[in-house]
């Protein structure tokens, strides 16, 4: 939302797979699948519901062990920015937004002041337009291989 790169999604409090929680597990699994679809290609880590609240250094260490599983916790899984502006010939600009899992019919673009608002279902992202793009209008938008490409030009 703010141009920061997110490199992993963490789903916590995953219920144990037991017979008496079967219906809860089915519902939770459906939500986890939805999360994976929304955030693809980001890795989605699952953390179990711990017996006690994660308070204190010892419990936090146990959570970290489950989360990172021996990997470097300072490592980066994704380095590409979530969106990028490019200058084009003729005073035009382009905006590329990574939107994995989004369908063309789900995407709605709106303009509000200096922001471009991108909606996909119930999700909304405000992208602050650079000063050079503010006087321009979005004249074309196309979704290609999980990337929304928006062209801006003079009206």
Domains and CATH numbers, the chain: 9-68 (no CATH), 83-153 (2.60.40.790)
What span, in angstroms and rounded, lies between the C-alpha atoms of 32 and 141? 30
Q: Which residue has the tokens 């219906």?
A: 23
pLDDT along the chain (155 residues), means of 10: 74 96 96 84 91 96 95 86 93 92 89 94 90 96 93 95
What span, in angstroms and rounded, lies between the C-alpha atoms of 13 and 34? 16
- Cβ neighbours, 10 Å, residue 6: 11
Entry pTM: 0.64
- The per-residue pLDDT for 79 is 80
Contact by Cβ (8 Å): 125, 108: no
- The per-residue pLDDT for 3 is 61
Beta strand segments in the chain, E: 9-14, 44-48, 83-88, 92-98, 107-112, 115-120, 123-128, 137-144, 147-153
Select from 121, 21, 41, 131 the least CA-distant residue to 85.
Answer: 131
- The per-residue pLDDT for 145 is 86
Peptide bond into 90 cis (omega under 30): no
- The per-residue pLDDT for 82 is 83
- The per-residue pLDDT for 40 is 73
Strand 107-112 versus strand 115-120 pairing type: antiparallel
């Amino acid at each position: 939302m703010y141009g920061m790169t997110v490199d992993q999604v963490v789903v916590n409090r995953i219920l144990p797979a037991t017979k008496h929680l079967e219906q809860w597990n089915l519902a939770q699994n459906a939500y986890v699948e939805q999360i994976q679809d929304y955030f693809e290609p980001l890795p989605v880590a699952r953390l179990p519901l711990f017996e006690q609240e994660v308070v204190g250094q010892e419990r936090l260490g146990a959570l970290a062990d489950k989360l990172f599983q021996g990997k470097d916790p300072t490592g980066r899984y994704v380095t590409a920015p979530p969106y990028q502006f490019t200058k084009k010939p003729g005073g035009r600009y382009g905006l590329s937004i990574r939107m994995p899992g989004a369908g063309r019919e789900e995407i709605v673009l709106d303009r509000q002041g200096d922001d471009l608002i991108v909606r996909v279902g119930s999700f909304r992202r405000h992208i602050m337009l650079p000063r050079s793009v503010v006087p321009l209008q979005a004249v074309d938008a196309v979704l290609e291989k999980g990337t929304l490409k928006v062209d801006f030009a003079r009206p």
